[in-house]
């Protein structure tokens, strides 16, 4: 079983796991990716001096905690960008979980049936881990230990993250901003791919407002929730302009379809 991680001198092989790919953003920040699945989700381990934040926990088809434990011995706080199944799959493996107050009930009563989650998980053929059993697959049902609010500061010891409430993709969607390094952990608000604002719990107008909100931040690097890791900073302005065009043409509303803008598309 192989896991890859980046030591700063390039990607090297490590005998750990056949599902996750681990790379360094910098010596204290890791991205844990699930590239074998069609969702290609990313989770981020942000290590401070006193504790570490794990931003999202991915699909939950393999043991992400075992990977985290090889990377740090610090206490782990799980930060949830939003409580969708592909971002909270591994939450059940941790004890300290934070979610925005508007989605605290989603962890206890997930808004779509487990059978639908399983259908989405298995939508496309995938080389799942050998010990993965779809019949025993489940997601966390329980209460978070911490409720997040816009503007909250999370101190990790020599590093801090600010909660930026960015609804639109979901009511309690949050980005996490590290001002000292200019990192924006953008979840499903910003990535190279199809930005979804078409289902009942999404809101295109709020999505647009959230893009306007993060555009005001001093961003050096975007660390997104899915697909390619290289996301140019100018994509924020590009998405902002795209929503502006949709509004101007009276198409910034659900039911208007999919609009392709090159690096990204918007599904309304």
Assigned token pair, 268: 């309304």
> What's the angle, vertex CA 221, arms to CA 244 and CA 206, rounded to 5?
30
Residue 266 contacts residue 258 (beta carbons within 8 Å): yes
- Other beta carbons within 10 Å of 233: 13
pLDDT of 14: 37
Q: Taking Cα atoms as reference points, which of 173, 125, 22, 171 lies closest to residue 163?
A: 173
Residue-range domains of the chain with CATH? 3-267 (3.60.15.10)
Q: Which parts of the chain sit beneath pLDDT 70?
A: 1-17
pLDDT of 173: 98
> What's the angle, vertex CA 265, arms to CA 262 and CA 268, rounded to 5?
155
Assigned token pair, 70: 């090889």
pLDDT of 17: 64
pLDDT of 232: 97
Q: What is the pLDDT of residues 50-103, one digit of tens each?
A: 999 999 999 999 999 999 999 999 999 999 999 999 999 999 999 999 999 999
- Other beta carbons within 10 Å of 232: 12
Q: What is the pTM of this model?
A: 0.92
Which stretches of 149-226 are DSSP H helices?
Answer: 204-215
> What's the angle, vertex CA 63, arms to CA 31 and CA 152, rounded to 5?
50
């Amino acid at each position: 079983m192989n896991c890859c991680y980046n030591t700063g001198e390039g990607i090297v092989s490590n005998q750990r796991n056949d599902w996750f790919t681990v790379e360094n953003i910098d010596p204290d920040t890791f991205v844990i990716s699930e590239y074998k699945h069609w969702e290609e989700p990313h989770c981020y381990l942000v290590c401070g001096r006193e504790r570490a934040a794990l931003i999202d926990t991915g699909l939950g088809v393999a043991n992400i905690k075992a990977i985290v434990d090889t990377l740090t011995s610090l206490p782990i706080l799980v930060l949830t960008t939003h409580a969708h199944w592909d971002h909270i799959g591994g939450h059940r493996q941790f004890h300290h979980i934070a979610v925005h107050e508007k989605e605290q009930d989603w962890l206890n009563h997930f808004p779509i049936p487990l059978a639908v989650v399983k259908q989405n998980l298995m939508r496309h053929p995938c080389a799942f881990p050998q010990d993965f059993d779809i019949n025993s697959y489940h997601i966390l049902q329980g209460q978070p230990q911490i409720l997040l609010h816009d503007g909250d500061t999370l101190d990790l010891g020599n590093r801090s993250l600010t909660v930026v409430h960015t609804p639109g993709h979901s009511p309690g969607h949050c980005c996490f901003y590290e001002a000292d390094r200019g990192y924006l952990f953008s979840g499903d608000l910003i990535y190279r791919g199809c930005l979804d604002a078409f289902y009942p719990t999404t809101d295109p107008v709020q999505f647009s407002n959230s893009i306007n909100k993060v555009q005001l931040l001093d961003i050096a690097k975007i660390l997104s929730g899915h697909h390619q890791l290289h996301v140019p900073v100018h994509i924020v302005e590009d998405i902002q302009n795209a929503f502006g065009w949709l509004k101007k043409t009276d198409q910034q509303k659900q039911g208007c379809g999919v609009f392709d803008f090159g690096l990204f598309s918007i599904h309304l």
